Structure 1
Amino acid sequence: MSVDIGTFSEMSTPAQQVRLVLLHDRQGKVLALLPPSRMLDLTSVAKLYGRELQATRVDDARRFFTQPGLQTEAGQAKLLSLPLLLDSSLGEAPLRCNELHSGLCFTLSSVPTHDQVSRGQVSCDPATSGMGSAGLDDATVITRAVERFTSLRVQQRLEDTLGLPGLSQTMRKIVMLRSDPEAGVDELVPVVKLDPSLSAQVMGWASSPYYAAPGRVRSIEDAIIRVLGFDLVINLALGVAMGQVLRLPEDTPRGTVPYWEQAVYTATLSEKLARSIPLERRPRPGLAYLAGLLHNFGYLVLGHLFPPHFSRLSRHIEANPQLEQSLIEQEVLHVTREQVGGWLLESWKLPAEVSVAVRYQHEPGFEGEHAEYARLLYLASRLLRQHGMSAGPAGPLPDEVMQELGLQQADLEQAMLVLKADAEGLSQLSDLFSGSVS
Structure 2
Amino acid sequence: MPVGVPAPHVNEGQITSIRLVLLHDREGKVLALLPATALLDLNRVCQLAGRELQPVKAEDARRFFGQSALRTETGLAQLLSLPLLLDTQCPATDWQCLEPYSGWSFALADRPAHARVRMGHFAVQAQLPQESIGLSDDLVLNRAAGRFTGLRVQQRLEDLLGLPGLSESMHNIVRLRSHPDANIDDLVPVVRRDPSLSAQVMGWASSPYYAAPGKVRSIEDAVIRVLGFDLVINLALGIAMGKVLRLPEDVPRGSVNHWDQAVFTAALCEKLALGVQLDERPHPGFAYLAGLLHNFGYLVLGHLFPPYFSRLSRYIEANPHLEQQQVEQEVLNVTREQIGGWLLENWKLPAEVSSAVRCQQVPEEAGEYQVYARLLYLASRVLRAEGLSDGPRTDIPAGLLEQLALTPEQVHHAVAELKGQAENLVQLSRFFDAGTRSVNIR
TM-score (norm 2): 0.92
The corresponding residue for 2:431 is 432
RMSD (Å) for aligned C-alpha atoms: 2.1
The change in CA–CA distance for 1:382 and 1:350 in structure 2 (over 3 A counts) is same
Match of 2:392 in 1: 393
- Structure 2 CA distance for partners of 1:156 and 1:422, relative to 1, 3 Å: closer
**Stretch moving more, 72-81 or 372-381:** 72-81
What amino acid does structure 2 have at the position aligned with 1:57?
K
Tell me the residue number matched to 1:93. Answer: 93
Q: Percent identity?
A: 62
Letter in 2 for 1:66: G
Letter of the 1:276 counterpart: G
Alignment partner of 2:147: what SS? helix
Q: Secondary structure at the match of 2:312?
A: helix
Aligned AA (2:347): W
Alpha-carbon shift at residue 124 of structure 1 (Å)? 1.0
Query: In 1, are the aligned partners of 2:161 and 2:346 still within 8 Å (CA)?
Result: no
Cα distance in 1 for residues equivalent to 2:221 and 2:299: 33
Structure 2 residue identity aligned to 1:381: S
Alpha-carbon displacement from aligned partner over 1:116-142 (angstroms, at most 9, x marks no partner): 1111011211117x4654543111111
Higher relative contact order (CA 8 A, sep 6+): 2
Tell me the distance in 1 between the aligned counterparts of 2:32 and 2:424.
41
- 60 and 313 in structure 1: CA distance in 2 versus 1, 3 angstrom threshold: same
Task: Compute the TM-score of the two structures, normalised by the length of structure 1.
Answer: 0.92
The corresponding residue for 1:231 is 230
Equivalent residue letter for 2:91 = G
1:24 partner letter: H
- For 1:46 and 1:118, how far apart are their aligned partners in 2? 12
How big is the shift at 1:291?
Answer: 0.2
Give the equivalent residue in structure 2 for 1:270.
Answer: 269
2:440 maps to none
Residues 35-87 of structure 1: per-residue CA shift (max 9 Å, x gap): 11110010111111111111111111111111111122221121111111111
Shift of 1:392: 0.2
* TM-superposition CA deviations, 1:383-424 (whole Å, max 9, x none): 000111100001111122211111111111111111111111
| Counterpart contact for 1:240–1:436, Cα < 8 Å | no
CA contact (8 A) 1:147 1:153 kept: no
Q: CA–CA distance in 2 between the matches of 1:157 and 1:253?
A: 23
1:257 counterpart residue number: 256
Distance 2:309 2:222 in 1: 39
Map Cα deviations across residues 130-172 of structure 1 (whole Å, 9 max, x no partner).
4654543111111121231132567699525888626433223
Cα distance in 2 for partners of 1:312, 1:395 equals 25
Which amino acid in the other structure matches residue 72 of structure 2? T
More deviation, 181-190/236-245: 181-190
With over 3 angstroms needed to count, the CA separation of the structure-2 counterparts of 1:163 and 1:42, relative to structure 1, is: farther
Name the aligned partner's letter for residue 65 of structure 2: F
Give secondary structure in 2 for the equivalent of 1:109: strand
Match of 1:127 in 2: 127
Preserved contact between residue 156 and residue 304 of structure 2 (Cα < 8 Å):
no
Runs of 5+ unmatched residues, structure 2: 1-10, 437-442
Q: In the comparison of the two structures, how many residue pairs are matched?
A: 425
**Deviation readout 1:284-320 (Å, 9 max, x if unpaired):** 0000000000000000100000000000000000000
Aligned to 2:309: 310
Measure how far apart 1:433 and its partner are: 1.5
* Shift, 1:432, TM fit: 2.0
CA contact (8 A) 2:263 2:291 kept: yes
Deviations 1:339-358 (A, max 9, x none): 00000000000001000000
Q: Distance in 2 between matches of 1:108 and 1:24?
A: 23
Structure 2 Cα separation of the partners of residues 64 and 180 of structure 1? 54
**Contact preservation (8 Å) 1:20, 1:33:** yes
2:33 alignment counterpart: 33
Aligned to 1:241: 240
SS in 2 for 1:17: strand
* Structure 2 contact 263–292 (Cα < 8 Å) conserved: yes
Aligned amino acid, residue 423 of structure 1: A
1:115–1:163 distance in 2 versus 1, CA, 3 Å: farther
Letter in 1 for 2:167: S
- 5+ unaligned residues in a row in structure 1: which ranges? 1-10
- Which residue is 2:185 aligned to? 186
Call closer, same or farther: CA 1:152–1:14 in 2, change over 3 Å: closer
